[in-house]
Amino acid sequence: MKVLVIHGPNLNLLGTREPGVYGQMTLDDIDAMLAEEATALGVELKTFQSNSEGELVTAIHDAVGWADTLVINPAAYTHTSVALSDAIAAAGIPTIEVHLSNVYAREAFRHHSFIAPVAVGQIAGFGPESYRLALHAAMRLKTES
Ligand code: DQA
């Protein structure tokens, strides 16, 4: 079971970025937590972060043939990116959308996701725990397929 976790723009700043919204954990802390969880679950895990839409698209393309499931926090591109949505649809890899914050309790522009229609499901609002829940959901997908 192979999972690629993709983090979108500005998530490299976690820890110092609006801690009241996104918490105190850094991206390295989150990736370390996920690595530990993946080991416990017997999941082979890769993580990737980019601030560039094109690099995120390429990471999705490159996951074809390797990843059984994608876990993606597209960050601000959630609300803007047809390119990411198209890449996920083209890759055909079951994809779980993740957000640290509850985007539906925030500004109206965060209520629309271009990713949700091409995702299996979405987990939002649990802080870093959203990613851990997504790993468990990925396991569930695998055992159901
Ligand atoms: C986010 C929510 C987005 O609206 C925002 O642009 C982010 C982070 C989250 O994880 O809560 O950068 O995806």
Q: What is the residue-wise DSSP string for 24-90?
A: S--HHHHHHHHHHHHHHHT-EEEEEE-S-HHHHHHHHHHHTTT-SEEEEE-GGGGGT-HHHHHHHHH
pLDDT value for 114: 98
pLDDT value for 144: 77
What is the position in ligand 1's atom list of the atom closest to the CA of 22? 11
Ligand 1 pocket mutation, candidates 99, 114, 133, criterion most atoms within 8 A of CB: 99
Q: Band the pLDDT of 143: cuts 50, 70, 90.
A: confident
CA of 10 to the centre of ligand 1 (A): 9
pLDDT value for 134: 98
Residue numbers annotated as active site:
22, 99
**Mean pLDDT, to the nearest integer, of 110-134?**
98
**Mean pLDDT, to the nearest integer, of 97-101?**
98
- pLDDT surpassing 80 at residue 145: no
Tell the residue number behind the tokens 């989150």, with chain if given. 30
Rounded to two decimals, the pTM is 0.97
Quick: pLDDT tens for 8-65: 999 999 999 999 999 999 999 999 999 999 999 999 999 999 999 999 999 999 999 9
Token pair listed for 120: 């299996």
How far from 13 is each of 63, 100, 143, CA to CA, in Å?
24, 13, 35
Distance between CA atoms of 136 and 62, rounded to whole angstroms? Answer: 23
Nearest 5°: the CA angle 54, 78, 145 is 90
Distance between CA atoms of 122 and 115, rounded to whole angstroms? Answer: 9
CA of 32 to the centre of ligand 1 (A): 20
User: Cβ < 6 Å from ligand 1: which residues?
Assistant: 10, 73, 75-76, 78, 99-101, 103, 110
pLDDT value for 38: 98
